[in-house]
Structure formats: C-alpha cells, structure tokens
C-alpha cells in the first residue's frame, strides 16, 4: 500500500521532486479505467497522456485544459472519448505503432489520434490505406452535395447568359433535375439505339438499292433516319459544349471524345462524297467513305453515358489492369508452349494441318479459350493429348483472374450506391434542420442549436453550412470551410 501510495500523483498545485518515471496515472476513458505509468508515457512527451504527468503542478486550470474532469479524491482523470479507439491508441506506448481495430470509422479514429496528440506516422500502413479510402469517399460525398447545392442555388449577381448556360447544362447533363430533362435523356437513349439498328439494317442486301452505276447502297429511308439521328447528336453535343463550365475539360473527356467519333464520320463521308470526287478517283472516295462508315460503331459507346452499369464495368476493368495483364501473360505462355508442342507432335502425320509454329498459334488460341472452330485439329495420339492438356490449362488460366475483376466491379458498384445514399442523407438533414430552424425549434430550443455550433463573432458562415454543422450528422463534411471539426463519441459512425 505504501509503495502504491508513493507512486500516486501529488496534489494539484504542489511541488513534488519525485521522478516522473515513478508516477502512476489513472485515466477513465468513456467509463473504462486504465492505469498507466510515467516511464511508459514519457517515451512520447508530446502526447496528451504524457502531459498529464506534470499538469498537476499548474493547478486545476492546466488539468481541465487536458481532460474533461478530474477527481481529486481518486486522483483520476476523466475523458469523454471512445474507449475502443483509446485502447488502440495506447498501443503506441507499448509497441511503437498503432493498429486500428476493425469496425472503427477511420475518420473518427484519426480524430481520436489528434485528440490524444499521437502523430499519424505511428499508424500502420494497412490502416493508413483505410483512412485514405475513407477520405476519398468523404471528398466524393462533399463534391456530390456541392453539385446539388449549386444546382439548387440561384446567384442573382450572375448575368442572364450565365444563368442560361447553367440551365442548359443542368437540363442536358442531369436527367434527374426535372421531368423534361428525363424525357430528353430517354429520347437520346432511344435515338442511340435507333441509329445503331439502322446501321446494322443498312448492310442487309434485301434492304439495299442500286445506284446509277449499279452498286448497292443503303436505302434512302434508312439514310434519312440516320441523318436525323446525327442531327440530334450534333445539336446535343454543341449545346453541351457551349454550356459547359470548363470547355477544355469537356473536350478532353473520354465520353465526349466518343461523341465526336460518333458524329464526325458522317460529316467527313458527306464531304468526301460531294467534294472528294473532284480531287481523287471515285474508287478511292468510295473506299474512304466505306472505311468511315465502319467508325459509326463508336456511337454504341454513347450508351455508357446513360448507363451506370456500363460506367461501373469500365471502372472495374480500369482497376483490373494487373489481373488482365496476368491473364494475357498466362495465355501468351500457354499459347507459345502448346503450339510448339503441337507442331512437333504432328510432324509425324503425313496429312498434318500444323505447317509451322506461327500457324499453330491460331490453334492454341482457339483451344485455350475453349472456342475450337475445327479448322485446325491434331490427328496423332500425342497431339490429341497435348490438345486436352492445353484446353484444361486454358480454362484454369482464364478462371484465376476473374474473381478479382468481379470483386472490383461489385466493390465499385456498392461504393457508388453508398455515396449516393450518403449525399441524399446530408441533403435531407440540411432540409430538416432548415425547416426546424424556421419554426424555431429542432428537438429543442433555437438557443440549444446555437450552443451546439458556436461561431467566432464577426465571422460569416453560409446558412446551409451552419445548418449542416448544427445537425448531429455522422457523415458531416465541411464543404466550404477549412475548419477542423471533431466528432465526439456520442456521434455514431456509419
């Protein structure tokens, strides 16, 4: 008992000459009591817990600047923080690094580390990746909320032309903004399908007609339908270009490049048809026009603009370059090995179809990908055995990278749904607090709300931003301010 008493903290304001290493610190974090020792905490003197060792010499003012409450009788410091996060944070004193427990929000955990004044460099790399991912999600939610708020807000200081640009951009780029915009988006989607069907039907010999020189050309009705579709695509692209906030970014965007490739062949072929004959031979003009007509297949990619599934698939493939590279490497090695073996084993047969190893590549490709056209096949016993082994190896090589690609697709799709729901959640909270503030109460008095979010005098804060801050949103993101806001343990983490 005497030894334990000697290790306890001195009275506040008293001068004690004992070494800090012998001091015993008792903290109560969220109802969980923990006993720590000075020699352990002094390893990191800049942390909040290490500051508790010498805080009693400064009196109660210094004590309450570091903790929420202090019991002089028990000599116990009280903190209204998350006890689960605290258990992870104090690992830095024992192991020199911090691991975030599964189930804790990375952003909340980062705020806890800031409170305990533990540097993020002690956080393990695997946990830092979770923190970076969560930060990106919050930035994406903030961007989506900001875009919606920009659409809802009307700046009276802007000129009429600028407001007209915003209206046109919102009308063409955001089908969910109004019913007419949704109708236009559906119409554009149907025209893409119609133009693709017309392109295919134009190649049917029964639907083609003969021109003056006896050559088969597309039916005039199909040409008129295609012209109307191209006219719509051109008008839509020009309106979006003129109304875009950043025209350079708009022009270099992948989907907008696809739009240009979808409409450009029509005008180039039209120019070559009417003016090219004067500068080159008619045969060359027809060949150029036919080559440009093939480029019309690019318009099918316009469907990705109206399909979130296609966009998700594109992103999944983009994130799966490593897996796709492994797939191609496996196939390339197998094709080379089995084509060489097939060529060698089939040389003993007088009617062999394997004339050379490069020619055998085709057989190995269609065999390993389980296509098997039957134009080239082995005739010897060893050749058939080689074909069976190559078939099995091809199935395994294709199946191995498929699972990570599917995981990337599902992960991105679910993430987009969560981000969309979180953005709507923020807007609903803003609308709820706005209507409650208008009535003078929101689960309490207006004064209570003001106490939740004190602002420095003389500092203006946007009305929607202040309403967002006073709402106890567990996904709050400061969109327009650079201030740091910290959640308490009373706020849940979704």
Q: Is residue 157 part of a domain?
A: no
* pTM over cut 0.75: no
- Using one digit for the tens of pLDDT, what is the confidence trace for 475-487? 333 433 334 333 3
Please list the ranges in the chain whose pLDDT falls under 50.
1-5, 17, 441-494
* pLDDT tens readout for residues 144-197: 777 766 666 555 556 677 778 888 888 888 777 788 888 988 898 888 888 888
pLDDT on residue 133: 80
Q: 344 and 394 in one domain?
A: yes
Torsion angle, alpha carbons of 276, 278, 283, 286, to 10: 30
287 found inside a domain: yes
Domain that holds residue 318: 311-426
Q: Determine the distance from the C-alpha atom of residue 92 to the mean position of all C-alpha atoms in its chain, rounded to a whole number.
A: 32
Asked, for residue 223, whether it belongs to a domain, the answer is yes
pLDDT at 335: 93
The domain boundary residue, chosen from 374, 395, 426: 426
Q: Is residue 297 part of a domain?
A: yes
Contact 334, 394 (CB under 8 A): yes
- Assess whether 29 and 134 both reside in one domain: yes
**Cβ distance 476 to 485 under 8 Å?**
yes
Which pLDDT value is given to residue 493? Answer: 37
Q: What is the CATH number of the domain that holds 110?
A: 3.30.710.10
Q: What CATH number does residue 256 fall under?
A: 1.20.120.350
Per-residue model confidence as pLDDT tens digits over 401-438:
888 888 888 888 887 777 777 777 777 777 787 777 66
| pLDDT value of residue 132 | 83
Question: What's the confidence (pLDDT) of residue 384?
Answer: 92
377 and 285 in a common domain: no
Query: Please, are residues 20 and 38 in contact by the beta-carbon 8 Å criterion?
Result: yes
How far is C-alpha 15 from the chain's CA centre? 57
Q: Residue 210 forms beta bridges with which residues?
A: 216
3-state secondary structure of 377: coil
Counting Cβ atoms within 10 Å, is residue 313 exposed (0-12), middle (13-18) or buried (19+)?
middle
Tell me what pLDDT residue 488 has.
37
- Domain count of the chain? 3
């Amino acid at each position: 008992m005497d030894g334990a008493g000697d290790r306890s903290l001195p009275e506040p304001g008293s001068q004690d000459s004992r070494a800090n290493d012998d001091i015993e610190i008792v903290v109560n974090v969220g109802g969980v009591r923990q006993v720590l020792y000075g020699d352990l905490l002094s390893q990191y003197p800049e942390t909040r817990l290490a500051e508790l060792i010498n805080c009693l010499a400064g009196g109660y003012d210094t004590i309450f600047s570091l903790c929420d409450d202090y019991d002089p009788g028990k000599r116990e410091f009280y903190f209204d923080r998350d006890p689960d996060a605290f258990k992870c944070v104090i690992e830095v004193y024992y192991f020199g690094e911090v691991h975030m427990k599964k189930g804790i929000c990375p952003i909340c955990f980062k705020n806890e580390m800031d409170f305990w004044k533990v540097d993020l460099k002690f956080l393990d790399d695997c946990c830092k990746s979770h923190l970076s991912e969560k930060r990106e999600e919050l930035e994406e939610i903030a961007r989506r909320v900001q875009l919606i708020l920009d659409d809802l807000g009307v700046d009276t200081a802007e000129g009429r032309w600028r407001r007209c640009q915003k209206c046109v951009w919102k009308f063409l780029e955001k089908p969910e903004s109004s019913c007419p915009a949704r109708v236009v988006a559906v119409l554009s989607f149907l025209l893409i399908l119609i133009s693709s069907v017309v392109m295919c039907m134009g190649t049917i010999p029964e639907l083609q007609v003969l021109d003056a020189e006896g050559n088969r050309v597309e039916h005039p009705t199909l040409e008129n339908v295609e012209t109307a579709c191209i006219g719509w695509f051109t008008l839509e692209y020009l309106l979006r270009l003129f109304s875009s906030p950043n025209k350079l970014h708009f022009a270099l965007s992948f989907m907008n490049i696809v739009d240009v490739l979808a409409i450009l062949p029509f005008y180039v072929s039209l120019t070559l048809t009417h003016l090219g004959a004067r500068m080159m031979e008619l045969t060359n003009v027809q060949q150029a026009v036919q080559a440009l007509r093939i480029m019309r297949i690019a318009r099918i990619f316009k469907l990705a603009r109206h399909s979130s599934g296609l966009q998700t698939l594109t992103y999944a493939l983009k994130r799966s370059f490593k897996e796709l590279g492994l797939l191609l490497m496996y196939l390339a090695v197998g094709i080379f090995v089995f084509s060489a073996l097939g060529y060698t084993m089939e040389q003993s047969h007088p009617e062999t179809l394997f004339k050379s190893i490069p020619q055998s590549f085709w057989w190995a490709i269609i065999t390993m990908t389980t296509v098997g056209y039957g134009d080239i096949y082995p005739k010897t016993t060893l050749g058939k055995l080689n074909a069976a082994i190559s078939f099995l190896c091809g199935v395994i090589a294709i199946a191995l990278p498929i699972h990570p690609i599917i995981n990337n697709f599902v992960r991105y799709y679910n993430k987009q749904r969560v981000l969309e729901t979180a953005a709507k959640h923020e807007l609903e909270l803003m609308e709820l607090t706005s209507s409650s503030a208008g009535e003078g109460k929101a689960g309490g008095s207006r004064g209570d709300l003001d106490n939740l979010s004190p602002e420095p005098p003389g500092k203006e804060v946007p009305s929607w931003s202040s309403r967002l801050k006073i709402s106890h949103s567990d996904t709050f993101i400061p969109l327009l301010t650079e201030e740091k806001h910290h959640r308490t343990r009373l706020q849940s983490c979704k």
